[in-house]
Structure 1
Amino acid sequence: MLTSLEGSMTESMEAQFTGLSAEHLMQWAAEEFGDSLAVSTSFGIQSAVTLHMATQIMPNVPVIWVDTGYLHEETYQYATTLTRRLGLNLKVYESALSPSQMESRLGRLWESENLEDLNKYDQIRKVEPMNRALAELNVHGWVSGLRADQTDFRKHLPPIKRTGTRYRIYPILEWTTRDVYRYQQQHHLPQHPLFEQGYATVGDYHSSRPLSTTDDTERNTRFRGMKQECGLHT
């Protein structure tokens, strides 16, 4: 029986969640946070897994999707497919600046070789809309499909992490790509259309590419390998 979160997250409590199955961790999050729980999604390659798992337990859980305005056409198609298939309670958030407004004021930031420009792009198109979503929806428990084997930062994450008054829950943190694939097959979940074109991870169309034999990590296929995190989780 897992203890309710009262006060700060301690190391002993973090250890309590380590090794817990994804389904049990999701169930605990639903019971712990109730109406203040939300799931975020990018409708990326592995998104169906976390969305399916969450909606099996909480069918009407809010699903936050930050639409950057630069996603692949296939991602928009996939979003429609999963929303209908899983009956998602989808909450779409966007930057206050439209793509054309941002480009006219700041240029095509994603083309820059300056890391500060790439970070500014992510702040405008992803981080600010997500922070607004979490505040407006009064989210205290945030479920995300991060995996430890994706980046150096993520490999050191605990399954539950406190940030201020909000808790981040990572049910499939210890899963591998094979685990994701098996779950999708077991539950007959549709695959992202770009998976068959060699994409291991997919974000904006201008900053994502298929996995090549020279890539040592999936995340190197994003932003020309200049950065691994967009700022949403750091």
Structure 2
Amino acid sequence: MAQNLIEINQNGQTIALPEEIYNRLLANQIDRLSHRRKKPELDLEAVNQRMGSVDAQALIEWAARTFGSGLVMTTSFGIHSAVMLHLATKVVPDIPVIWIDTGYLPPETYKFAEELTQRLNLNLKVYQSPLSPARMEALYGRLWEEKNVEALNRYDQLRKVEPMQRALEELEATAWLAGLRKDQTDHRKTLQRIGKQGDVCKILPIFEWNSRDVYYYLTDNELPYHPYFDLGYTTVGDWHSSRPVTADDESDRDTRFQGLKQECGLHLPKTDAEAQSLDSSFL
């Protein structure tokens, strides 16, 4: 039986979704609108002027006071993910930690996730696509092998974006802590430390940090980094879309998605230019 597809517009691009995924998204949105948790009204410009230069812990403390149980965070259990997890759980020990498990992560990532979950006693919320990897491949093929941005965008929508949207909705998130840093891309230099993505406030505690700050925080607090770091990886995501850095790479970003793009979809850009300058793998 042919799979029914429904086309949606995502950041100016048309993506075809299976009807069951589309219906799930629509139902979640309707339910969220009818049971929406009241969000604090913020003057982002004023808040950034007041809180934009405070240290990471102070910003997380402000977020916890402001958003209460609506505050969540995300992690990829990537190379330096222990930093944000440690910072956030020091302030909010039971903060919901959203992890999007694509089903294609390296075995070492699952082991690293288990290690950090036990060590930091994480309140882990694992979200996955309703389509299993085997079912997705049977219906649509191994999308990452098509080596074009449209196929990668469909893959990201199915395996990452839909679960992430569902997580934010089911957890009634009003604010989201993320580990983006301004030294990671040219676009990120233009971001505010406190901003919005959709109707959720996005807060970037380590926005001003650099690689040295991250290294010292890990060592000072005796925190582990992902085992792939010792294999030459500076960023790691799905096994099929990550590789070690080589001498020919101009940027760490060249090691992801066959160099075709750098945005996995969790931090949705507004323009094609932004899509080429974002990468959520550092969370």
Matched letter for residue 166 of structure 1: V
Q: Percent identity?
A: 55
Contiguous gaps of at least 5 residues in structure 2: 1-38, 269-283
Measure, in 1, the Cα distance between the counterparts of 2:202 and 2:92.
17
Aligned residue for 1:53, secondary structure, equals helix
Q: CA deviation at 1:112?
A: 1.6
Q: What residue number does 1:174 align with? A: 208
Q: What residue number does 2:233 align with? A: 199
Measure, in 2, the Cα distance between the counterparts of 1:6 and 1:223.
37
| Equivalent pair of 2:235/2:252 in contact (CA under 8 Å) | yes
Q: TM-score, normalised by structure 1?
A: 0.94
Measure, in 2, the Cα distance between the counterparts of 1:9 and 1:109.
42
Q: CA deviation at 1:59?
A: 0.6
Within the alignment, does 1:18 sit opposite 2:49 as a pair? no
| Equivalent pair of 1:49/1:184 in contact (CA under 8 Å) | yes
Q: CA deviation at 1:212?
A: 1.7
Match of 2:77 among 43, 46, 55: 43
CA RMSD, 1 decimal:
1.4
- 1:141-165 Cα shifts (integer Å, max 9, x gaps): 1001111122233222111112343
Determine which structure has more spread, i.e. the larger CA radius of gyration. 2
Q: What residue number does 2:41 align with? A: 7
Match of 1:87 among 109, 118, 121: 121
- 1:33-75 Cα shifts (integer Å, max 9, x gaps): 1111111000001110000000001111110000000001100
Contiguous gaps of at least 5 residues in structure 1: none
Measure, in 2, the Cα distance between the counterparts of 1:216 and 1:129.
32
Measure, in 2, the Cα distance between the counterparts of 1:212 and 1:8.
44
Measure, in 1, the Cα distance between the counterparts of 2:102 and 2:249.
25
Measure, in 2, the Cα distance between the counterparts of 1:106 and 1:216.
32
Q: CA deviation at 1:101?
A: 0.7
| Equivalent pair of 2:148/2:260 in contact (CA under 8 Å) | no
Equivalent pairs counted in the alignment come to 230
Match of 1:108 among 117, 142, 153: 142
Measure, in 1, the Cα distance between the counterparts of 2:92 and 2:44.
27
Q: What residue number does 1:215 align with? A: 249
Q: CA deviation at 1:110?
A: 0.7
Moved over 6 A (4+): none
Within the alignment, does 1:133 sit opposite 2:167 as a pair? yes
Q: CA deviation at 1:213?
A: 2.3
Q: What residue number does 1:153 align with? A: 187
Q: TM-score, normalised by structure 2?
A: 0.78
